[in-house]
Every structure is written in structure tokens, then in C-alpha cells.
Amino acid sequence: MRAFGHAPGKRVEHKAEFVFYCRDDQCDFDPVALTQVLEIAPTSIERRGDAGPSGRVVRSTAWCWQLGDRTTTETYEVVQEVLDIFEPVADRIAEARARCGLDLILHLVIKMYGRLEVEPDGSTWASVPTPSTAFSSQMLGKLAELGCSLDIDQYVLVPAD
């Protein structure tokens, strides 16, 4: 097997979304009021009862803030960028969560792009860069202090040549 190189098209992309949503389907909240409390503008809002992007009815209101795509193998850096935005308003987050019965999640989507390698004997293998997803206890503690869950989805994309 060959060592990983920096071949064209091989990369790792991260997308991070910080989402406030109701703990159960019975509650609802005003995302405009949440925006005023946080003093941070959401990237998108989904309101309970509206049709979502897929056409399916949204079951729970959600306030979403999204970090633009990052091309890096260091997931830690992406999470730190999000914390840099939201840690300064931790007291406002706690107030909003308690008053409105909200949960909070940091959703990471990691896409790993690689390529198929063909050996002289005709066998193939996927050459794909992988992210470092190690988090320090301090970082996990900061997420916990915000009352934030962490969800990581990873996808490998290898085009067939």
C-alpha cells in the first residue's frame, strides 16, 4: 500500500451547523426572539408546520447558524471556530435554553474526497485522506457548559474513473 500524498482532488471538507431546537414536538419558540437574545444572526430558520426544503412538514422549529465550508483535516479547528463565536454569549445561551426549553447541537458533516488506486495486479483500493477527530477534555467541557450535543457525520466520496 502506498503512503498518502497530496494528490489533486484529495481533500477533507468540514461543514458545521450550530442548531437550537425544541426538546419535544409539543413546544415551540420564536426564532426571531432567540436572535435578539443571542445578538447573532442565524443562517436559516425552520418553523414548525412549514414545508422544509424536501417538501416534508417541519416537526420542530429550529434556529440554525452555519460555519462556511472548511477544507482541513483538523476537526478540532472547526469546532474551535464555532466555540469562538458562541462561548462569549454562553450566559445568553443558558437563558434562552432555560426559558424556551431548547436543546442545542453542533452538527459536523465531514466529507473525505479521494480516488481509486489501481495496482499492477489490477486490484484497487481507495486512497482517501481522513480527518483528525480528537477533542481535548477542555473542548468537550466547553461544549458541555453550553449544553451542546455533538453529532458527527462522515462521508467518503471516491469517484469511479
User: What is the tens place of the pLDDT at every residue in 147-161?
Assistant: 999 999 999 988 765
Inter-residue contact 94 to 153 (CB < 8 Å): no
Measure the CA–CA gap between 118 and 38, rounded to whole angstroms: 52
- Residue owning grid cell 426538546: 23
DSSP, collapsed to helix, strand or coil, labels residue 143 as: helix
Stretch 79-107: mean pLDDT: 93
Copy the grid coordinates of residue 88: 462569549
For the chain, domain boundaries: 11-157
DSSP, collapsed to helix, strand or coil, labels residue 62 as: strand
pLDDT-derived band at 7, boundaries 50, 70, 90: low
pLDDT at 26: 67
CB under 8 Å to 33, separation ≥6 — which residues? none
Percent of the chain surpassing pLDDT 70: 91
User: What is the tens place of the pLDDT at every residue in 16-59?
Assistant: 999 998 876 667 888 999 999 999 999 998 888 777 677 887 77
Q: Are strands 115-118 and 62-71 parallel, antiparallel or unpaired?
A: unpaired
Residue with the bigger pLDDT between 104 and 56: it is 104
Helix orientation angle between 75-86 and 137-146, rounded to the nearest 10 degrees: 40
Model pTM score: 0.83
